[in-house]
Amino acid sequence: MFEYYEKLTGGALSGYISELTLKGHSDNEIAMLLGVRWSYLFSGLGWFEWSQIIAEYRQMQRRQQAFPREYVKA
């Protein structure tokens, strides 16, 4: 789900989540802010869907930290 919306936003979604994280917002607050920011584009998404997207983003971050690209063979 995260990858789908990341492609639709041209990479802006992960940047916005990172920015809000650096500002000290919790994942619940970020889900709410994403719903406010992109409600005009993705009107069918509620807080629950945004929180799932954030959870997938965090999971992707953990995978990248566990296996940095320079150590992963193609």
Nearest-angstrom CA–CA distance, 12 and 73:
28
For 7-43, what is each residue's pLDDT tens digit?
988 999 999 999 999 999 999 999 999 988 888 888 8
Nearest-angstrom CA–CA distance, 52 and 1:
8
**pTM of the entire predicted model:** 0.78
Residue spans of alpha helices (H) in 1-74: 2-8, 12-22, 27-37, 47-66
